[in-house]
Amino acid sequence: MPAGPAGAGRRHGRVLALTAVAAVLAAAPVTVSAEAAHTPPRTGFESSGGARWTGPAEERLLLAAVDRHGDRVSVERIGTTKQGRPLRLVRIGSRRPAALTVLLVCSQHGDEPAGREACLTTIRDLAFAEDRETRELLSRTEILFVPTANPDGRAADTRGNSDGADINRDHLALRTAEGRAIAAVVRDHRPEVIDDLHEYGATPPYYDKDLTVLWPRSLDADARVRDESELLAERHVRPAARDAGYDSGLYGVWTDPVTGSPVRQTAGDGQERILRNAAGIKHAVGLLVESRADPLTDAERADPALNARRRVRSQIVALRAVFAYVAQRRGEIGAATVRARTAGFTEGGPVYLGGADNEPAGSGGVLAHPPCGYRLTAAQFAGIGDELALHGVTSRPDGDGVYVPLAQSARKLVPILLDAKAAYHLTNGQADTAC
């Protein structure tokens, strides 16, 4: 934050804005009966005024209530964790083929609960909404939620799942039940927009924004999709955050507190196994949103519930900005994602095994002339065939093995999974260069 009286005034104004937001949340009406057919249920977080996070039984009751409310919502089980907890998908809105699909993945890291609370609240609000604007959005959009993407980690308040695995580093290998469930949703529903909700710890004064955002930086994300993703982050979510009284920045980028110029980058690269980048490579407009978890003010340090409410509210603001973006740029989003999905059948060009949109890949990180495809032995395919299928990668029998062509929608994903030079490849495929 800027030093001196002007900076102090801005900080004071922002604290007043945040306090006002917290007061609105605290004053929300109390539901008499969550079982009443037309009475919106409340989360455990809301009922406690932010003093505790919503428990699994409370989540189950809330989702059952919205599922019963009408045909606008459906809830289905898409997997089971190692400890036996359900992984659920909530579908809200239009099922028409022409509908644009948005996927919200909530709290992959179990010790980052604010995104999950924002998703649960938003599910309820969308399910019971009667206003014209929301009804119009839902008439042309299907909104998917994985409301608790890491149930075992949430129960233990740990970043990883019950095996200690970081789910957000498993979107290539798909070794976790959680990662596999998310991949299946992306494959089967083909969302045009994917929003990944997280939290982060600040490092004042260089990295202490209320909300940080980022788009897919992988160079293998189609440029048109990446441009839409950056526009979503910079022209929609960040301005909405500022309008709501929150300051915002880029995830992983430290800035000078006086000039606002970048100082260093500590995260937010083009690593393909992270959902933000995997989304772009799979032709979806991608967004990462991170709310600041540690206390912002002395009042938040004294009252953890105030801190929790601010974190959740900032995530809700970001979600609403995503919905506004979808409503405003539906045509542009559809055009960008359709072109990206079909380009792999007809377009050539390099495949990148490193780098990012702000970092050159280097000579060793580029397949300037990618092969026509990769041959796998029967044993190799037996080991990774399920993962290829979950990624939506197509293959065909080839003698005693399998051939995976590059000429497919997942063209740039294939070398990432099968080329020996790729950092997180699943197996060493035999490159076919006889094009």
Contact in structure between 292 and 202 (CB atoms under 8 Å) = yes
Written as one letter, the residue type at 236 is: H
According to DSSP, the residues that pair with 193 across neighbouring strands are: 102, 285
| Every domain of the chain and the residues it spans | 4-338, 348-432
Contact by Cβ (8 Å): 197, 149:
no
CB atoms within 10 A of CB 23: 11
Cα 112 to Cα 311: distance, rounded to the nearest angstrom = 10
Distance CA 328, CA 318 (A): 15
- pLDDT tens string, the chain, 435 residues long: the values are 333 333 444 434 443 344 333 333 333 333 334 444 578 999 999 999 999 999 999 999 999 999 999 899 999 999 999 999 999 999 999 999 999 999 999 999 999 999 999 999 999 999 999 999 999 999 999 999 999 999 999 999 999 999 999 999 999 999 999 999 999 999 999 999 999 999 999 999 999 999 999 999 999 999 999 999 999 999 999 999 999 999 999 999 999 999 999 999 999 999 999 999 999 999 999 999 999 999 999 999 999 999 999 999 999 999 999 999 999 999 999 999 999 999 999 999 999 999 999 999 987 899 999 999 999 999 999 999 999 999 999 999 999 999 999 999 999 999 999 999 999 999 999 999 988
Query: Is there a contact between 155 and 55 (Cβ–Cβ < 8 Å)?
Result: no
Tell me how long the chain is. 435
pTM, full prediction: 0.91
Q: Return the CATH architecture of domain 4-338.
A: 3-Layer(aba) Sandwich (3.40)
**Nearest by Cα to 316 from 141, 180, 135, 122:** 122
Q: How many CB atoms lie within 10 A of CB 133?
A: 11
